[in-house]
Structure 1
Amino acid sequence: MRLLLAEDEVELANAISAVLKHKNYSVDAVYNGIDAYNYAIAQDYDGIILDIMMPGMDGIQVLTKLREKGIDSPVLLLTAKSDIYDRITG
């Protein structure tokens, strides 16, 4: 299974990638929203993990643009936000 991980905190991205790779997932890690979008439109992913707060483009913007392009890969949103508005937006 091929996954795209977009997380701007490099140490956290490395830790998540290591766990996923240990579980036999193939992981491409990127560290900003622009790269996340570009990777997602250039390749087919079985799943995408997006941090909501990233430089360049936030995770919600990336997801919105991907859906507009017809990319319907399952997406898991990572966030430290807990406000109900933020959860509804996600």
Structure 2
Amino acid sequence: MTKKILIIEDEKNLARFVSLELQHEGYEVIVEVNGREGLETALEKEFDLILLDLMLPEMDGFEV
């Protein structure tokens, strides 16, 4: 079964780079660009790993 990773990161270039590298290694990756959407996605689905930025728009990583 493919491992699922959620990336919550507002810097789109960084999120895209990390996402592409993880996908290349065989992981399923979902990217959210702000804390509120990231939290909603994290609560809706199961993930094996969540990579969470602390400095995010709308809701920071500490609040998430």
TM tier, shorter chain? Answer: over 0.9
The match for 2:41 is 39
**Given residue 39 of structure 2, which amino acid in structure 1 is its aligned partner?**
Y
Q: Which runs of 5+ in 1 are unaligned?
A: 63-90
Select the structure of larger CA radius of gyration.
1
Give the counterpart of 1:26 among 25, 28, 33.
28
Give the superposition deviation at 1:15: 0.3
The structure richer in helix per residue is 1
- CA shift for structure 1 position 60: 1.2
Gap regions ≥5 residues in structure 2? none
Q: Please, what TM-score do these two structures have when normalized by structure 1?
A: 0.68
Instruction: Render the CA deviation track for 1:51-84: whole Å, top value 9, x for unaligned.
Output: 000001111110xxxxxxxxxxxxxxxxxxxxxx
Aligned length in residues: 62
In the alignment, what sits opposite 1:79? Answer: none
Matched residues in 2 for 1:43 and 1:7: separation?
Answer: 18
**Residue of structure 1 equivalent to 2:55:** 53
> Post-superposition, which runs of at least 4 consecutive aligned residues in structure 1 deviate over 4 A?
none
**1:25-75 Cα distance to aligned partner (Å, 9 max, x none):** 10000100001100000001111000000001111110xxxxxxxxxxxxx
Question: Taking CA–CA contacts closer than 8 Å with sequence separation of 6 or more, which of the two structures ends up with the larger relative contact order?
Answer: 2
Pairwise CA RMSD of aligned residues?
0.5
1 CA distance for matches of 2:42 and 2:55?
Answer: 17
Identity over the aligned pairs, expressed in percent? Answer: 39
